[in-house]
Amino acid sequence: ATFRASQGGPLELQLDIEGIDETVNATVFPTLSISTVGPYMFSDAVLNLAGNPYSFLDFEVIVDNQLIGDRHLNSLTRTALPEGGRLVQWTLNAPYGDSTALYGLAAAGVACTATFTLGARSCLFSSDRVSFPRQGPTVPDKGEIMFPLVGVAGRYGSTLELVVTNDSTG
């Protein structure tokens, strides 16, 4: 799953789904209730790193279960779809002048949250420990210097790499 949003746009979800077999049956899928209130917009998001709010050009969280997709054993079809591990990656781009404190952010990891709010509804992405390796800013020309942050979330105690809380009670 990839959650992403960028300036001027809505929060998007892209799913890559793998399966072992298929069943053609209309009752397999649940009934979805689509909100008519509107989408979460990036302009309504609050992003915090290490407890401090920052402004970013974009936001992306990737959850990759690293499925082993070639498990056929002695069969013509897939026999299993085991998980090979889990990767949760946060990617953020910020104007360098506004976020110089983020350079060399603790290698042990920092808390990261992104809260999208729409009226009384909210969606919170939270990772207790995201490690951002040192990566300098990109200086391609005379334009604004951008500072890319790409970090990997780790499990911290009993807390999962990523917790998503969707409060749709509003």
Q: What is the pLDDT of residues 16-50, one digit of tens each?
A: 888 777 777 766 666 766 666 789 999 999 999 98
What pLDDT, in 10s, does the model give residues 112-136? Answer: 999 999 988 999 999 999 988 877 7
Helix, strand, coil share of the chain (percent; to 5)? 5, 40, 50
Give yes or no for a contact between 149 and 102, defined as CB atoms under 8 angstroms apart.
yes
pTM score of the predicted model:
0.83
Q: Residue holding tokens 């953020």?
A: 92
Q: Is the pLDDT of residue 170 over 60?
A: no
Judged by DSSP in three states, 87 sits in strand
97 CB-contact burial (10 Å; exposed 0-12 / middle 13-18 / buried 19+): exposed
Which of 23-32, 65-74, 84-93, 102-111 tops mean pLDDT?
84-93
- Residue in 15, 63, 14, 5 with CA at minimum distance from that of residue 39: 5
What pLDDT, in 10s, does the model give residues 85-99? Answer: 889 999 998 888 766
